[in-house]
Amino acid sequence: MNSRWLVCNVAAGVMFCAGFTRAQAPQPDGAGLERGQLPAHWITGGPDCSAVPKWQVHAYNPDLYILRESGCTNYEKPFLYLFFGHDRALLQDTGAGETNVAEIVNQTIAEWCRRNGRQSIPLIVAHSHGHDDHTSGDKQFIGKPNVTVVPLSVEGTAKAYGIRRWPTDPGSIDLGGRVLDVIAIPGHQPLSVAFYDRRTGILLTGDSLYPGRLYVFDFPAFAASIQRLVDFTRDKPVAHVLGCHIEQSNTPFLDYPIGTKYQPEEHVLELSHAHLVELNEALKSTSAHPVRYALRDFTIWPREP
Ligand SMILES: [Zn+2]
Ligand SMILES: [Zn+2]
């Protein structure tokens, strides 16, 4: 915690805190957010791969699905997110390795359309960032009718979300009654973005914050990005911070080694706004000499570009 947050005075019965962060919601009444459920455990991969589905598809609520790729297909076991608005759907990421991702996404879209009395809905394929464990399935969507794939370039990403000055200006995309704010957060990778869903209060942070190893390839850019995300969320309700992997075990400070496909005691997917603040404080405290730094639920892991 920043010590300036603790500068408080009690005068005439009124508590005044100089520089205190604004409340994310004025009352504990649900903050006007659409509710949803996360599973207590996700399927990882194994111990018997013949008994494990290739994808776990979880409905957070009727208009937001979370898909997890099996570790039996690829040890990265990435999470994908599928949002539905009135006019368009948006998929974040397309998975790792060779998969049947388009088939699973199309099945999920068809189920949503059936439930909503629709023939179809246009799909935008977006990316948390450009690493191939999140973009390998792009080729299954490119050129398909009713599908727009956001290009893997700064120019294409900025244009898709109306970001005028990359990375400092915020952008957004309106799916029809559902606005996602888009914040450029380069540092893990040049195209990294965060999505904030105003309907559920979910903040997607890609590979920049999740329970696991946060590989930082450009430390100054990453530190500035996380500060930008803290500033952006300061006055917004954040229900969950959801990233693209789980590498941490449910034992504090302990991760699963790289390449692990079966993680029977893995950390939950969901982090909170407090983890974002914790990451920001840790980055500020180590910015002069970036070093590997394990925190309870994730590790800051500087890497050579
Ligand atoms: Zn990555
Ligand atoms: Zn990744």
User: By the 8 A CB rule, do 174 and 189 touch?
Assistant: no
Q: How far is the CA of 221 from the centre of ligand 1 (A)?
A: 15
CA of 279 to the centre of ligand 2 (A): 18
CA 269 to centroid of ligand 2, rounded, Å: 14
* Average pLDDT for the chain: 93
Mean pLDDT over 145-153 rounds to 98
In the block, tokens 């696991």 appear at: 212
- In DSSP notation, 94-116 reads --SSS--HHHHHHHHHHHHHHHT
pLDDT at residue 148 tops 80: yes
What pLDDT, in 10s, does the model give residues 187-219?
999 999 999 999 999 999 999 999 999 999 999
CA of 243, nearest ligand number: 2
Residue 22: predicted pLDDT: 62
Q: What pLDDT score does 251 carry?
A: 98
Amino acid at 248: Q
Backbone dihedral region of 194: left (phi > 0), alpha (psi from -120 to 50 degrees) or beta? beta
Identify which ligand lies nearest to the alpha carbon of 246: 2
pLDDT-above-90 percentage for the chain: 90
How many CB atoms are located within 10 Å of the residue 289 CB?
A: 7
Question: With 80 as the cut, is the pLDDT of residue 6 above it?
Answer: no
Give 136 Cα–ligand 2 centroid separation in angstroms: 11
Mean pLDDT of the region 65-82: 98
Q: Which of 53, 43, 55 is nearest to 264 (CA)?
A: 43
CA–centroid distance, residue 56 to ligand 1 (Å): 21
The amino acid occupying position 100 is N
Question: At 23, is the pLDDT very low, low, confident or very high (cuts 50, 70, 90)?
Answer: low
Distances (CA, A) of 17 to 7, 59, 242, 276: 6, 41, 30, 22
Tokens of 167: 């990375």
Mean pLDDT of 91-116: 98
The residues pairing with 180 across neighbouring beta strands, listed in sequence order, are 173, 197
Q: Are 248 and 255 in contact (CB under 8 A)?
A: yes
pTM: 0.93
pLDDT for 77 beyond 90 = yes
| Dist. CA 91–CA 61, nearest whole Å | 15
pLDDT at 299: 98
Query: Would you state the structure tokens that stand for residue 137, as one six-digit string?
Result: 């399935």
Query: Which residues are bridge partners to 147 per DSSP?
Result: 123
pLDDT higher at 9 or 305: 305
